[in-house]
Structure 1
Amino acid sequence: IDLYLVGVGTVGNELLSILGESNQDQICLKGVATSKKMLLSESCFDPNKIGNKLKESGDKFDLDEFLDNTGEQKGNKVFVDCTASTAVSQKYTAILDRGFSIVTANKIANTLDYGFYQSLRENASKNGVSFFYEANVGAGLPVISTMQNLLSTGDKIISIEGVFSGTLSYLFNTLTAKMNFSELVNNAKSNGFTEPDPRQDLNGLDVARKLLILARETGAELELEDIIVESLLPTGSESIDSVDGFLKHLGQFDGEMRVKVKEAEAQNKRFRFIGKYEDENASVSLQKIGREHPFYELQGSDNIIAFRTRRYPNQPLVIKGAGAGAAVTAAGVLGDIQQCLVSN
């Protein structure tokens, strides 16, 4: 297959490294682009060298020109999106119509309005191409593929429950009553465990988007605004201009959080930020759980997802592991690229 990669940030660079290190002789890298520049070739680029080459040269990025590099070739070309761009996501239907399969780590397309979500699947089917997005939820964990396999073999999903954010997993797996929550958030930010602006983690919307993607896999015609989201941001946080200003504001609520955690510890319970879909209702909130809960022993920044189904009604099917990080996300993307080899 011929590969056209857009986005050579953290995940895109890691994907190039994996392609360069492993024997992927069935994959030919023919195009690489950032939001500003692109390089195209009629032969195959060396994944180990293309990053530096793109820094030194390249034409101004134009998506139509980027896609035109294949001419009339059809059926063995794959567009890989490692950006976080809404503009690129909105072009997916047109990209599928041009005979490209799409592999994406970018979760935006699957969380836009339901009509667009449906059109992606219809266009892929109509054009005989594939649309894969395993890395949208849980990075390299086999979350979406496991769910699709359950459904395609006749199982019925009763509920989906998960800790979908590596950042929030780390925060609440680490937090004790002796700590200031604002200091923990600040330290996590300094160590690269949060977004540059931690409000993007604490507002719960990233978790809501991941839950929406899984709920839609069941056939639920949900929109993002249908999900009840309990933000962890104190009142007034969104209007503060600077990140430092926000962290100082967050510190005013350390006492309130400490009381909650102390109460939980006295009850031998722990806090987890959980997304849940059941009975056509979806919600995202901070929950206090006991030892009987499958998420109680969660550690570090791991993700955990539990599916209760007709076949797994009492003991849920649980997937747990690293749900964030460039290496595992890029591996999830490469797994989908390899699926295109099989599907096409």
Structure 2
Amino acid sequence: MNVLKFGGTSVANANHIKLACQIAIEKATHERCIVVVSALGGVTDALLEAARTAASKNNAYIGMVDEIQNRHIEAIDGLVPAQAQHALRDHINQRMSSLRMLLDGCFFLGELSQRTADSVAGLGELLSSAIFAEAVKVHFPDCDLKDSRELIKTNNQFGKAVVNFEATNTLIRNHFNHSHARITVMPGFVASSTDGHNTTLGRGGSDYTAAIIAAAMSATQLEIWTDVAGMFTANPRIVKQARAIASISYHEAMELSHFGAKVLYPPTIQPVLAKGIPIVIKNTFDPDAPGTHISARPDVAGNPIKGISHIGDIALLTLEGSGMIGVAGSSKRLFEVLSNENINVIFITQASSEHSICIGIQSVDADRAKAAIDQGFEMEIAQGKIEPCIVEQNLCIVALVGENMKNHQGISGKMFSTLGKNNVNIRAIAQGASERNISVVIAESDVKKALNTLHETFFEDNVKQLNLFVMGVGNVGEKFVEQIHGQRKFLRDQRKINIRMIALSNSRKMHFDADGISLDHWKDLLSSGETAEKSAFIQRAKTLNMRNSIFVDITANAEIASTYGDYLAKNIAVVTCNKIACASAFENYIGLKNLSRKYNAPFLFETNVGAGLPIIDTLKHMIASGDNVREIRAVLSGSLNFIFNNFNDSNSFHDVVKEAGVQGFTEPDPKIDLSGVDVARKILILIRESGYRMEMEDIANESFLPKECLDTTSVDDFFVSLKTHAAHFNDLYRAAAAKGCRLKYVARFKDGKASVGLQEIPADHPFYNLEGKDNIVLFYTDRYADQPLIIKGAGAGAAVTASGIFADVIRMGSV
């Protein structure tokens, strides 16, 4: 004999019921089946809402009852031929008449007792089972309907009655030993007390009904048919990468179902566990999917972790004080106080010092629990031996579950390390001696990040997902997006890095998609996005609170640079080509570094110097390995190198600067490059990264621009001034050429002093043959004293700058 249970989504409407009936009929061709059905999806809630409405003396319940009745009539019309509906319609109408009488009573009395609530709540299953049975008979006549209330007997604890298994098992066996129907349809959830009152088995009790029957009849297996293909490694609504668990033990399933895996009602497992009856979780809408097989001996090979689950709306209560140390019975008193209030304790942890004990309960019970605890320990609190109960709200419990965890070292360490790297603060920890479950209490706001990052660590073959929030998609930004689009598959397959673009913004528009922006048509999405607003962009990134979040700044905007601290303090990494932050006041620079360390949020800015060249990264490795920088000589402006390599008697200085802008080598305002400010920022960053303290004003800037050029207030005026002073620039070129030299804009640091300025470079100098837009840096250090370490290559251009930013993002994959 096989027992099948169909949940509310599986019998939500006529089309769904047809699918469930087909499954039951197919099973019945091989062996006898008992089919337990839930109420039509949402009907139980609707029934109880109607009852509460009636009890509040609101006659809107009348219309609510009509809607419930109409929904069942619609199902009948879609399942049973018109000529065969008469008896079923009469049955439904009689049940609904009884409901109206009950609710009329609630209306006149102005109250809803738990006993009446049980009679109201159970009506949904009585209606759905009758409809289901008639729908089966249309195609498979050998089908009976049996009222579960006649077989399952309980006490009078209305709302969640306790089953009398001795009487129940006898009644079930007697009935099915005399019944020969191939399919027997029964309502779930409902039962009756030994004195004949309607009772229910608690929400989710239809699973329990099926398990009780399966255990009593020693069924071949219990099949739970729902709208998902089994129990998942995590909640698939929160963790998109979650997948169905193929095989799991009874104890693992109980742990996961207790911690929020809603496809299985926790008490379901208890009746079948003793009999060793396997449970299979199947998908009504994909019946060929294998589902999840629950048994005493599941497949234990491979991953010791079977799933990650959570319970939300948790409050943490802490009782502490010296009056608890060495005092026997303190814990007993605490739990008695809560038991007397009928408050369920979900989580317990106690310090070995006995100074405090911490418990987790549902948030809805927190105020009542605190009042009861403070009253129960009133004397000790008054004497100062124990502090008043401390309540923390807006928390949740995350649990790592696996039967085989006890045989694998380092699981808990890996869990805590994973959460810590994403700045998820753990408020409390509990692990049972069985080691099937490691539970932590965290902030409710961190649950999505926690579940996703743990799933990534334990289930996704070490694939690390990086979530990018990109601001600035001009020339460099567009190249950056293109490079990511082209390399995503390679990075996932070869580097185990999955990059998702969550947000894009330019100066006018911004677009967000928590599931990842499609890069095939990102320009269209951005152009139709919402109005760009810096504070809203930051707030959205914080609210989404995603794991491995990275803010990518591809602007030259000082206001944007001032926001880095806001991101870092929320564990959002920062990657930037914007030099302003690292070249700002030294205290701000150090502050950002400190925030990065404190909140475990990387702050990377390789492209601040040399675009895509690995200058800063090389420097960091030298310093970390114990080397000391003594002198730096460098040509750090690809734009200035391009300009002076192309400026000659045939090309005017004005035209060459214009061309540098067209090529994307200069900043939007070229005066930043030509004034030496950009180069000064770069050498300042290298000096600071070398371990020296210096401010921007400490750098001698020997400008080659006439004062009138420096004093211009717009880009257009600046270009006009370049034409006006053409003779000045021609003189600079001719003077150098006459000496056989080339003009290079050079930055230098030595003996604590730094300078930037235009120099005439002779033919035997390493800088002389520096072509195009190339940069070159010479590091003289303790180890490279006589022959410097030289880094040379393209130091400007959208593509190389974008590749440098991209490289910083990829570095995050190994952090």
TM-score (norm 2): 0.40
Structure 1 range deviating more: 305-314 or 172-181: 172-181
Larger Rg: 2
Contact 1:16 1:48 in 2 (8 A): no
User: Is the aligned partner of 1:67 residue 2:532?
Assistant: no
CA distances 1:195-237 after superposition (whole Å, capped 9, x unpaired) = 5554332211110000111000112111111100011211322
Contact 1:163 1:304 in 2 (8 A): yes
Q: CA deviation at 1:166?
A: 1.2
Equivalent of 2:502 in 30, 34, 38: 30
Q: CA deviation at 1:163?
A: 0.8
Which residue in 2 is equivalent to 1:264?
Answer: 739
Higher relative contact order (CA 8 A, sep 6+): 1
Name the CA shift for 1:244/1:4 in 2 (closer, same or farther; >3 Å): closer
Task: Find the aligned partners of 1:94 and 1:247 in 2 and give their Cα distance.
Answer: 40
User: Is the aligned partner of 1:342 residue 2:797?
Assistant: no
Structure 1 range deviating more: 185-194 or 297-306: 185-194
Aligned counterparts, 1:114-125, within 5 A = 114-125=586-597
Contact 1:139 1:332 in 2 (8 A): yes
Contact 1:182 1:250 in 2 (8 A): no
Which residue in 1 is equivalent to 2:562?
Answer: 90
User: Is the aligned partner of 1:7 residue 2:472?
Assistant: yes
Q: Secondary structure at the match of 1:79?
A: strand
**Identity over the aligned pairs, expressed in percent?**
36
User: Is the aligned partner of 1:252 residue 2:252?
Assistant: no
Task: Find the aligned partners of 1:121 and 1:40 in 2 and give their Cα distance.
Answer: 28
Name the CA shift for 1:198/1:51 in 2 (closer, same or farther; >3 Å): same
Name the CA shift for 1:187/1:337 in 2 (closer, same or farther; >3 Å): closer
Name the CA shift for 1:129/1:254 in 2 (closer, same or farther; >3 Å): closer
CA distances 1:263-301 after superposition (whole Å, capped 9, x unpaired) = 322xxx322110011111110011222233211211111
Aligned counterparts, 1:219-230, within 5 A = 219-230=691-702
Letter in 2 for 1:297: N
Which residue in 1 is equivalent to 2:485?
Answer: 20
Q: CA deviation at 1:107?
A: 1.0
Contact 1:5 1:31 in 2 (8 A): yes
Name the CA shift for 1:177/1:309 in 2 (closer, same or farther; >3 Å): farther
Task: Find the aligned partners of 1:306 and 1:191 in 2 and give their Cα distance.
Answer: 27
Structure 1 range deviating more: 120-129 or 26-35: 26-35
TM-score (norm 1): 0.91
Q: Secondary structure at the match of 1:42?
A: coil
Letter in 1 for 2:538: D
Structure 1 range deviating more: 222-231 or 46-55: 46-55
Task: Find the aligned partners of 1:278 and 1:258 in 2 and give their Cα distance.
Answer: 28
Aligned counterparts, 1:1-344, within 5 A = 1-22=466-487, 23=489, 24-25=491-492, 26-61=498-533, 62-71=536-545, 73-74=546-547, 76-176=548-648, 180-186=652-658, 188-189=660-661, 193-195=665-667, 197-240=669-712, 242-265=717-740, 269-343=741-815
RMSD value over aligned CA atoms? 2.1
Contact 1:77 1:101 in 2 (8 A): yes
Contact 2:605 2:808 in 1 (8 A): yes
Q: CA deviation at 1:42?
A: 2.1
Contact 1:197 1:243 in 2 (8 A): no
Letter in 2 for 1:5: V
Runs in 1 of length 4+ with deviation above 6 angstroms? none
Name the CA shift for 1:191/1:153 in 2 (closer, same or farther; >3 Å): closer
CA distances 1:131-171 after superposition (whole Å, capped 9, x unpaired) = 11111111110000000011111111111111111121122
Name the CA shift for 1:105/1:188 in 2 (closer, same or farther; >3 Å): closer
Task: Find the aligned partners of 1:127 and 1:190 in 2 and give their Cα distance.
Answer: 40
Name the CA shift for 1:250/1:64 in 2 (closer, same or farther; >3 Å): same
Task: Find the aligned partners of 2:532 and 2:553 in 1 and give their Cα distance.
Answer: 18
Q: Secondary structure at the match of 2:814?
A: helix
Task: Find the aligned partners of 1:244 and 1:110 in 2 and give their Cα distance.
Answer: 29
Task: Find the aligned partners of 2:655 and 2:734 in 1 and give their Cα distance.
Answer: 16
Name the CA shift for 1:148/1:244 in 2 (closer, same or farther; >3 Å): closer
